[in-house]
Structure 1
Amino acid sequence: MLNIMEVHETNQMIEQEKLDVRTITMGISLLDCVSDDLETLCTNIYNKITTKAKDLVATGQAISRDFGIPIVNKRITVTPISLVGAGACKTPEDFVQIAHTLDKAAHTVGVDLLGGYSALVSKSMTPAEELLIRSLPQALSETEVVCSSVNVGSTKTGIDMNAVKLLGTIIKDIAKATADRDSYGCVKFVAFCNVPDDNPFMAGGFHGVTEGDTVINVGVSGPGVVSRALDAAKGKDFEFLCETIKRTAFKITRVGQLVAQEASKRLGVPFGIIDLSLAPTPAVGDSVGEVLEKIGLETVGGPGTTAALAMLNDQVKKGGIMASSYVGGLSGAFIPVSEDSNMINAAAQGCLTIEKLEAMTCVCSVGLDMIAIPGSTSAATISGIIADEAAIGMVNQKTTAVRIIPVEGKGVGETAHFGGLMGYAPIIPVNQSSCEAFVNRSGRIPAPIHSFKN
């Protein structure tokens, strides 16, 4: 239970420091919707989502009103559609029909985003999984709130380079299909290595096959709270700094725990996990980059950035784990360039480069996230970037991801605008050296030696 002092601190964090619960996400299994008839399958999917999630938005609004805690998004994740649609879908267009069904169901219940138009191909692709991947340009351009992810590798299996090669072309095609919106379709797609089953954040959220029928996962965010807390740590040593971050992460996670338990009780759905990630927004004062700069960097991206981010990520997790018995998802610090005001500025100045971002992904929660690059970037280069990031995840036994936007018709120095929480991003250069011969090798990069632990 929260005592009166914690209530006062929580009110201050909400009113002055931009604390919010970023999302209440309901995970819904669609395995019992499976049919070999596409029309029946779509009907089953629509009926299950609209039945299970019918009260999700209203409940989130009621909790926000009753407790005075901002809840920014209400979302849904579903079982990876490549599994659900395998028996009924014979063409990419068949999978697109399911995407339209998901979009319709999401609009009916009023959620902001729906994740799970996904495929898990870390070792190899089934015919159905390849069909879903090939459907992505049409599916993501013709739907509004459907998000997609493809897991291309894991520490236990290695990296499916056939899928990595295909995704380079697919991402280019998604960008072209949504060129009139600064290639916004790419914002709704992410390629993963070691993807978690219980992530409430988009675009990578889906309802894993190890989950129950329905579950409530909550993502809580508070970079503004951490930033304000660090004002008291100016000039102090690392011990004081780490203790400050850890204590603050504990308080942030307790707020998420309160919301998660209340949502679970009101909806009659089991509580899953709290994702305690520091997820920034484009608003000034709600920036992970600002936190890193208060730790002692002149500009995020400069020397010391990776070390500062590693420390921040670790202390956030240590504080959060003490606040909840069920911490999961990604949890740590996100570095989405377009969604973080200080990172936007650093990228525009040339201080934050794609190479430095890749180094930072070795120690943060996700990977190369919301990065705008020239629309002329080749498919092979995009595949190479995905392969590099997947290798970091595979070798280091951590989740990594790539959400990159080759903005059609724009080049370095121009700006892509995505709107809302997605923000805007300066288009940054990528290395022009070709990796085409590497990407064109078929097959799989094998798992690292330390994956064999049986």
Structure 2
Amino acid sequence: MLNIMEVHETNQMIEQEKLDVRTITMGISLVDCADESLERTCQNIYDKIVLYAKDLVATGESIERDFGIPIVNKRITVTPIALVGASCCKTSEDFVQIAHALDRAAKEVGVDLIGGYSALVSKSMTPAEELLIRSLPQALTETDIVCSSVNVGSTRTGIDMNAVNMLGGIIKDIAWNSRDIDSYGCVKFVAFCNAPDDNPFMAGGFHGVTEGDAVINVGVSGPGVVSRALDAAIGRDFEFLCETIKRTAFKITRVGQLVAQEASNRLGIPFGIIDLSLAPTPAVGDSVGEVLEKIGLAQVGAPGTTAALAMLNDQVKKGGIMASSYVGGLSGAFIPVSEDKNMIDAAKNGCLTIEKLEAMTCVCSVGLDMIAIPGDTPASTISGIIADEAAIGMVNQKTTAVRIIPVVGKGVGEMANFGGLMGYAPIMPVNTASCEAFVSRKGRIPAPIHSFKN
């Protein structure tokens, strides 16, 4: 059992080291909202979200007051909408109406973001899933807090290259539609391989079909805490370094466990998982890049960066798993460029490149995240980047993702500003050699040989 003494032990982490609970996320199943009538489906979705989540924000705020633990975001995830709208949506515009219903419901209950405007197409697309994907440029432009994801591959099924090829153009269209705000619409979309069913983080969160009717998932954060702890490890060996990271991750996760249990009890919704990812912010001292530099790198992107990140990710998971029996989601170290001060600096001076980031994604918790690229990047190049990242996830049996922003009207060296937790980013160069003939092939890349485990 957890007790208030464990929270007191974290006071310094909260007050001086930027520890926070990044999100309380309520997952809500919308399977029972489906109807042959689009109007009734939208109303059912609105009514259920408002009924279940009406007290979510107030509960989060009361936990903050009672325990002195900052909770940055309150969020909702829902069943992938391609499944919910399959019976009633005959056009892309029909799916956009559901996106508006999600947006209205989320605003009514006061949450920061709602995720699940999603499709799971790792093997192939149904007509409804293709319609939802084609609706994304309109849906993400016309709504404010709706987030979307498409799972294009998995270790068991391979990679749906038809979907990958389509997404390059879709991302370009989203960027164009939101060109007046640095193509911000792309911030709300991510392409996945091996997407988890219980991810509380955005933009990739959705309420998986394996989940119950409702669940509370919590995402913690604490790169600043780990960074401060590593001050004691300067000049020490790897054993001491690893123990320091593990012990710190344990304490961070215990705070998340307390918040999750309190939220579950107060809302009367079952507790799901703790996602113990180290999620940075643009603030000074809240950076995964800073942690890697304290491990011994002159700057993120230097030789040794991938090895240091692999060690960090592993020790965070080991410490967190000892603190909670229900660790899930992504859980590890995030490397979103625009949300990490030290990574922004490394990208600006050229030490950190997209190619190095791709190598780092082989060992971290997710993938190419919050990367701004020139607005004139071809759609086929974006599809190729998604295919590369999906292949890393498929072969290595891990979750990978791409959240990339082709910023319309801007080129290499200029800055894009996304605001708030999303931060700002330098426009990074991409390889200009064409992959169009590759990504335009029809069909799917087969699952790897080691996927056959029956």
TM-score in terms of structure 2 length: 0.99
Q: Note the residue ranges of structure 2 that are not aligned, 5 or more in a row.
A: none
CA distance in 2 between partners of 1:99 and 1:440 (Å): 29
Q: Which residue of 2 aligns with 1:388?
A: 388
> How far apart are residue 87 of structure 1 and its match?
0.4
State the alpha-carbon separation in 1 of the partners of residues 4 and 153 from structure 2: 47
How far did residue 5 of structure 1 move?
6.3
Counterpart Cα distance in 1 of 2:438 and 2:212: 41
**What is the CA distance between 1:438 and its match in structure 2?**
0.2
Distance 1:335 1:124 in 2: 29
Identity %: 87
Which residue does 2:218 correspond to in 1? Answer: 218
Corresponding position of 1:267 = 267
Counterpart position of 1:355: 355
Partner of 2:89: 89
Aligned to 2:247: 247
2: CA distance, partners of 1:149 / 1:4: 38
Q: Is the 8 A contact 2:300 2:351 kept in 1?
A: yes
Report whether the alignment pairs 1:197 with 2:209.
no
SS in 1 for 2:411: coil
Give the drift of 1:447. Answer: 0.1
1:312 corresponds to 2:312: yes
2:6, 2:255 within 8 Å by CA — same for their partners in 1?
no
Could you tell me which residue of structure 2 aligns to residue 150 of structure 1? 150
After superposition, what is the alpha-carbon deviation per residue over 1:288-310, rounded to whole angstroms, capped at 9, x for unaligned?
A: 00000000000001100000000
In structure 1, list runs of 5 or more residues that go unmatched.
none
Q: Which residue of 2 aligns with 1:175?
A: 175
Aligned to 1:397: 397
**CA–CA distance in structure 2, aligned partners of residues 4 and 153 of structure 1:** 43
1:277-324 C-alpha deviation (Å, 9 max, x unpaired): 000000000000000000000000110000000000000000000000
Residue type matched to 2:380 in 1? A
> Which residue of structure 1 lines up, in the alignment, with residue 54 of structure 2?
54
Measure the CA separation in 2 of the matches of 1:120 and 1:244. Answer: 39
Which secondary structure does the structure 1 equivalent of 2:220 belong to? strand
Query: What code does the residue aligned with 2:26 have?
Result: M
Residue 8 (structure 1) shift: 3.8
Please name the residue that 1:276 is paired with. Answer: 276
Match for residue 420 of structure 1?
A: 420
Question: How far, CA to CA, are the matches of 1:69 and 1:80 in structure 2?
Answer: 31
SS of the counterpart of 2:209? coil
Question: Residue 293 of structure 1 aligns to a residue in which SS?
Answer: helix
Counterpart in 2 of 1:110? 110
**Matched pairs, number:** 454
Quote the Cα distance in structure 2 between the aligned partners of 1:106 and 1:30. 14
Letter in 2 for 1:392: I
SS across alignment from 2:10: helix
Q: Secondary structure at the match of 2:111?
A: coil
Aligned partners of 1:219 and 1:375: how far apart in 2? 32
* Contact 2:151–2:191 (Cα < 8 Å) also in 1: yes
| Residue aligning to 1:365 | 365
Shift of 1:6: 3.7
In structure 2, the residue matched to 1:296 is 296
Q: Contact 2:35 / 2:88 at 8 angstroms: preserved in 1?
A: yes
Name the CA distance, whole Å, in 2 between partners of 1:193 and 1:327.
20
Distance in 1, matches of 2:268 and 2:15, equals 30
Residue 442 of structure 2 corresponds to 442
* Partners of 2:272 and 2:401 in 1: CA distance: 22
Asked if 1:71 corresponds to 2:78, the answer is no
How far apart, CA to CA, are the structure 2 residues paired with 1:69 and 1:4?
12
Q: Deviations over 1:431-452 (max 9, x none)?
A: 0000000011000000000000
* Aligned ranges 1:126-145 → 2 under 5 Å: 126-145=126-145
Q: Name the CA distance, whole Å, in 1 between partners of 2:386 and 2:328.
A: 24
Which amino acid counterpart does residue 173 of structure 2 have in structure 1?
D
Tell me the CA shift for residue 3 of structure 1.
Answer: 6.4
Give, in whole Å, the separation in 2 of the partners of 1:88 and 1:41.
8
**1:117-156 deviation digits (Å, cap 9, x = unpaired):** 0000000000000000000000000000000000000000
Whether the aligned pair in 1 keeps the contact of 2:20 and 2:221 (CA below 8 Å) is yes
Cα displacement (A) at 1:7: 3.8
In 2, Cα distance between the equivalents of 1:320 and 1:364? 15
1:407 equivalent in structure 2? 407
1:2 CA displacement: 5.0
Corresponding residue for residue 333 of structure 2: 333
Find the aligned partners of 1:240 and 1:134 in 2 and give their Cα distance. Answer: 51
Aligned partner of residue 402 in structure 1, secondary structure: strand
Partner of 2:125 in structure 1? Answer: 125
Equivalence for 2:11:
11
Q: Which aligned runs of 4 or more in structure 1 are off by greater than 4 angstroms? A: 1-5
Structure-1 separation of matches of 2:243 and 2:36:
56
CA distance in structure 2 between the aligned counterparts of 1:75 and 1:405, rounded to whole angstroms: 23
Q: Indicate the residue corresponding to 2:376 in structure 1.
A: 376
Whichever residue aligns with residue 210 of structure 2, its letter is T
SS at match of 1:118: strand
Aligned-partner Cα distance in 2 for 1:249–1:410: 39
Distance 1:438 1:59 in 2: 50
Supply the RMSD in Å over aligned alpha carbons: 0.7
**Residues 155-193 of structure 1, C-alpha deviations (whole Å, 9 max, x = no match):** 000000000000000000000000001000000000000
